[in-house]
Amino acid sequence: MNKEENIIVGISIGDLNGIGGEIILKTFADSRVLDFCTPVIFASVKTMTFLKNHFNINVNLNGIKHTDQILHKKINVLNVWNEPVKIEFGKEDLKIGAYAIKSLEKATQALKNDKIDVLVTAPINKHNIQSDTFKFPGHTNYLAQELEGNSLMLMIANDLRVGLITDHVPVKDIATHITPELIVEKIETVYNSLKRDFRVNKPKIAVLGINPHNGDNGVIGSEDDDILRPTLKAIKDSGKLVFGPYAADSFFGSNNYTNFDAIIASYHDQGLIPFKTLSFGKGVNYTAGLNKIRTSPDHGTAFEIAGKNEADNSSFKEAVYKAIEIFKNRKEYKAITQNPLKFNQKKI
Ligand SMILES: NC(=O)c1ccc[n+]([C@@H]2O[C@H](COP(=O)([O-])OP(=O)(O)OC[C@H]3O[C@@H](n4cnc5c(N)ncnc54)[C@H](O)[C@@H]3O)[C@@H](O)[C@H]2O)c1
Ligand SMILES: N[C@H](C(=O)O)[C@H](O)COP(=O)(O)O
């Protein structure tokens, strides 16, 4: 297979009782998608056949046992399990959560071993995936352990990119998590990702304040003055185009966000509420900063509509496209930065 043209997209199935299977099949039912990527779904042919019949989606599945059997122009399904699985749409079920993790672990292994080029994850339910061996609040935190680099949750929709200093952290713990070291690490990660993954030459990054109105000189909290401002000053002094802190409440409403290549929020809902409000259904969740590429849609398992053929697959499709785009950008960036003279040479 020509890996240059046919990027192999590994897909973890997510929660089988949610909308994951539906959005995956709807995406690859459009055969044009198979012209530029080769999907490999980590699940089982039996399970995927049940789903395609349930949703009446007319696709052919190519069942395989090993990644060396992957075929181009086919929807490959790698059999991670063979037994029949009882799918009950909309039901939170620990047994179903265990299949989501089986799929994720197998796909991650393939990603680590370069058997797939990128990983796109369908949504999981964070409660039913917990077990004695799996204790992560999400893919980002799991992949941060499995892969190399410093992970960053970066939500992307066209030119809007919102990264988080803290991600799946309970509200009561946020302030203690935000240290100068973590701020530096996350800004460094988004800066490098903008250059390498999105080919932004001189990234401009905005940082949102932690407290309401940046703490109003200590009246509403001291973290902005004591931690954030001095850290940002040191980063700015190093020559990076980093701006802020900006009061978070008006930053998006005033359209100021359009002036930056990325926005860094202090915590999950500070960043994800404006992001999803502006882009829900088109956004992509990208785990930046790691040696491998993983994207996912900007939504969850949507149990209330699962099985009803109502799920919109736009965000999942966008997640596939973005993973491919980032894969290509990284390759190009590597070529340019390794030997710029060679890259610019033209054949005479
Ligand atoms: N990438 C992921 O794995 C991921 C992302 C977000 C949430 N989750 C998990 O999913 C579960 C449910 O989370 P939630 O209820 O907060 O968010 P959700 O995104 O599942 O649902 C929010 C709302 O959006 C609707 N919706 C979501 N996706 C849709 C789609 N493709 N088409 C049409 N409507 C859609 C739902 O019906 C619901 O009304 C939680 O366990 C959460 O942790 C997982
Ligand atoms: N915070 C993500 C969102 O709301 O879209 C979601 O929980 C997924 O997180 P992981 O990518 O870490 O699973």
Residues 192-218: tens digit of each pLDDT: 999 999 999 999 999 999 999 999 999
pLDDT in tens, 104-120: 999 999 999 999 999 99
Same domain, 123 and 168: no
HSE-CB at 123 with a 13 A cutoff on CA atoms is 22
- In the chain, the number of structural domains is 2
Q: What is the per-residue pLDDT for 2?
A: 45
**Per-residue confidence (pLDDT) for residue 338, from 0 to 100:** 82
- Indicate whether 331 belongs to any domain: no
Q: Do 103 and 207 sit in the same domain of this protein?
A: no
Q: Residue of the nearest CA to atom 39 in ligand 1?
A: 302
Residue 196 lies in a domain: yes
CATH classification at residue 132: 3.40.718.10
Looking at residue 281, what is its pLDDT?
Answer: 86
How much distance in Å is there from the Cα of 339 to the middle of ligand 2?
Answer: 37
pLDDT, tens digit (0-9, with 9 covering 90-100), for 245-278: 999 999 999 999 999 999 999 999 999 999 999 9
18 within some domain: yes
Residue nearest to atom 17 of ligand 1 (CA): 300
pLDDT at 345: 57
Ligand 2 pocket test target in 285, 299, 315 with most atoms within 8 Å of CB:
285
Give the list of residues 6+ apart from residue 301 with CB closer than 8 angstroms, or none. Answer: 14, 15, 17, 18, 19, 20, 123, 124, 125
Is residue 330 in a domain? no
Go through the chain and tell me how many residues it has: 348
**Nearest-angstrom CA–CA distance, 260 and 34:** 34
pLDDT at 151: 96
Q: Does residue 47 sit in the same domain as residue 174?
A: no
pLDDT of 238 reads: 95
Res 280: pLDDT: 82
Look at residue 41 and tell me if it is in a domain: yes
User: Tell me, what DSSP letter sits at residue 226?
Assistant: I
Q: In which residue ranges of the chain is pLDDT below 50?
A: 1-4
- With residues binned 3-state (H G I as helix, E B as strand, rest as coil), the percentages for the chain, rounded to 5, are 45, 20, 40
Report whether residue 299 contacts ligand 1, using a CB cutoff of 6 Å: yes
**Considering the domain boundaries, does residue 303 fall inside one?**
no
Query: By residue range, what is the domain housing residue 89?
Result: 1-148
40 and 133 in one domain? yes
- Which ligand is the nearest neighbour of the Cα of 128? 1
Q: Which of 22, 40, 99 is nearest to 302 (CA)?
A: 22
318 domain residue, yes or no? no
Cβ(285) – ligand 2 distance below 6 Å: yes
